[in-house]
Every structure is written in C-alpha cells, then in structure tokens.
Structure 1
Amino acid sequence: MYMHGGDVMVMSGQSRLLYHAVPRIVAAPQGHPALEMEGCSSASSRRDCSVVEPLSEQDWAVCSRYTESSRVNVTVRQVLGPGQSFSETPSSHQKTDADQTEGPHDHPADVECGKRRRSSSDTVET
C-alpha cells in the first residue's frame, strides 16, 4: 500500500495501537484569513460556546508570523466509551437526546455547544 502526505487511512482493532504518520505540509495562506465561529450563530450562544477572545492587531501579527513559520500537528481520533460500538451501517438520522451518553464531566450546556470538560483524572489511551 502506498500513501502520500495528506492521505487518510481508517484503522481499527490492533492497527490503532501502532505508531504511524503521514504528514501533509500546508502552505501559509496569503493575507489575513477570516476566523469564523462554526455552530454558534446568535450572539448569546456565541458567548456561551466561544473560546475565541478579542485579539489586538499587534497580537494577531505575532501569532500569524509564528503559524506561518512553524509546524502544527493535528490529530483527529474518534474514541468510544465503554459498551459503545461503531454502527455497521451509516446512520442518516441525527442523534437525539436519548442517543447521547453523558459522562461524569459532561454537562447539558456543554453538549449543546459541542464541548466536553476534561479533568486531570481523564486518561488517554494510545
């Protein structure tokens, strides 16, 4: 099997426990990219869901220079809770409240915004 930078591979079972990487170098965009908040449309929900804080033009310039010249690694993983499993067929319906499972650090207000609180006791499996 040949893979190239940026390719996606879906792994399950024992293969998820192995070390692997297929990097993709993305060129810095020209100009100032717009940072838009997804999923929170009204001002009140934006206050509740946003982790974005106001940033001065000077601070933005420092951050922008850093991201243009630095490597940023992004890893996306789907983790299932105890007793959960992947469905055998793709689901075409959206989850209802009955489908949601709430953990010890999840709160209804956070679920609405797509957030989960983490604590120092949370473990990360690799």
Structure 2
Amino acid sequence: MAVKYNTCLLIDDNYIDNFVSRKILESSKFAENIIVIQSAHEAIDALRSERIKPDVIFLDIRMPQMSGFEFLKQYELLEINNKRNVKIFMLSSSLDPNDMNNSLSNKYVARFVHKPLTHEALEELCT
C-alpha cells in the first residue's frame, strides 16, 4: 500500500493496542506521520490548538475520563479548518451493537473497525 494520508492520529488509552496498531500502520505505509495520544482530553487540546492536523483519526470507544463518544461531542464543538474532511474510524474491541450503531450514526465517523487493526482492515478502508 502506498502512503494514503499525511497525518494519522491514533487515540487509545491502551499501550499494547497502540503498539500493535502503530506497527500495522507503519508497515502498511498508511500515513506519512503517525501520532499516538493516550488520552481523548489531550487529543482534543492538540486539535484545538492545531498542533496536530490529522487527515485520519483512529478512535477507541472505551477510555477513562473521556470516551470516544464524548470525544466526538467535543470534536463537534471545535473550530478548526478542514474538520469535515478528517476521516474518523472508531477502533474498538466492543461487540456491543449499540456502540457500532452510535458510531455509524455520527456524521464524523466513516467506519467502525474491530480491534486488532490488521493489514486487511486497512486495505478495506482505502478502497
């Protein structure tokens, strides 16, 4: 796979999941830059200040302090350039159909992806 995106932001509180996802993203050449943030609060702050300008975001659902769904509510309030063009993929191990339905009903979420992230899943996201 050729480089598809300039900057990919991975938001997940789990170190092991981040390690695996980052390796898959790097080996697939999914993005030129891969940024990992383990807190949704920190990610919102980085986006608000425009220190990070991602093309794509992989967002976990279940995180302490701020869930992926709470992140999406805060994301809605952000006044940043190109917000509507950022692709957000919910990346979760959740098997709860409500999580999938809530994800896909959000106007910013492009797809729901089950953990662990795989090369095959990335291929599907790029088609």
Same fold (TM over 0.5): no
Higher percent of residues as helix: 2
- TM-score normalised by structure 1 residue count: 0.21
Please tell me whether Structure 1 or Structure 2 has the larger radius of gyration of its CA atoms.
1
Higher percent of residues as strand: 2
